[in-house]
Amino acid sequence: MLGLAATLFEVPKAHACSCVGSISPGEQFEKSTAVFAGKVADIEAGDYSNTVHFDVERAWKGVSTTTLALTTSGSSDSCGYDFEKGKEYVVYAYSSDESSLRTSTCSRTQLVAYAYDDLAYLGAGYTPAPGQPATVAKEPGDPLLPFIGIGAAVTAAIVLFTRRKSKRQK
């Protein structure tokens, strides 16, 4: 009887995080302060947020160093991204004061292994210079970047279509 009463009065866990719709790589790029790919070197867990240290391998916007740190909420219920040490991510980060980067589950931040559309849009990017101070600089957008991204997406679609067609003919 007590078990039944506990079941009847069980309150579902509330989730405060909700993201509004999906956003394209181009839209996310424009809204971000920094965009980079890197491997998680360390994670410092705090009371309410985690500081995640990255070894930056490639950058597309706002990154001038090969290492940087950003924060994310310590809970996925508060839209915190659950990074894992040693894994590689494409990260879309934002900042209100150009010194502290943040990211969340509502951005397109994801494992590099799943970031096909993002990598096709972003293109080659650049390698940040080692030994540079860890600053985040807002850069003006490259006017050719959307065309490069569209060209990469069209090329990827053609390759995919050709492979599927050749598999069907076998």
- d(CA 141, CA 33) in angstroms, rounded, equals 11
Mean pLDDT of the chain: 79
Q: What is the pLDDT of residues 31-64, one digit of tens each?
A: 999 999 999 999 999 889 999 999 999 999 999 9
Residue 150 CA to its chain's centroid (Å)? 20
Asked if the model's pLDDT at residue 103 lies above 90, the reply is: yes
Domain boundaries, the chain: 25-169
What is the pLDDT, as a whole number, of residue 145? 46
Inter-CA distances, 16 with 49, 79, 107, 118, 152, Å: 15, 8, 16, 27, 37
Cβ proximity of 70 and 101 under 8 Å: yes
The confidence band for 165, taking pLDDT boundaries of 50, 70 and 90, is low
Helix locations, the chain, DSSP H: 2-8, 25-31, 116-122, 145-169
Asked if the model's pLDDT at residue 65 lies above 60, the reply is: yes
The confidence band for 140, taking pLDDT boundaries of 50, 70 and 90, is very low
Asked if the model's pLDDT at residue 110 lies above 50, the reply is: yes
Q: Which CATH class is domain 25-169?
A: mainly beta
Asked if the model's pLDDT at residue 137 lies above 80, the reply is: no
Asked if the model's pLDDT at residue 138 lies above 50, the reply is: no
| DSSP helix, strand, coil percent of the chain (3-state; round to 5) | 30, 25, 45
Q: What is the pLDDT of residues 8-40, one digit of tens each?
A: 444 444 456 888 778 999 999 999 999 999 999
Asked if the model's pLDDT at residue 84 lies above 90, the reply is: yes
Residue in this structure with the two tokens 């965009």, named with its chain if needed:
35
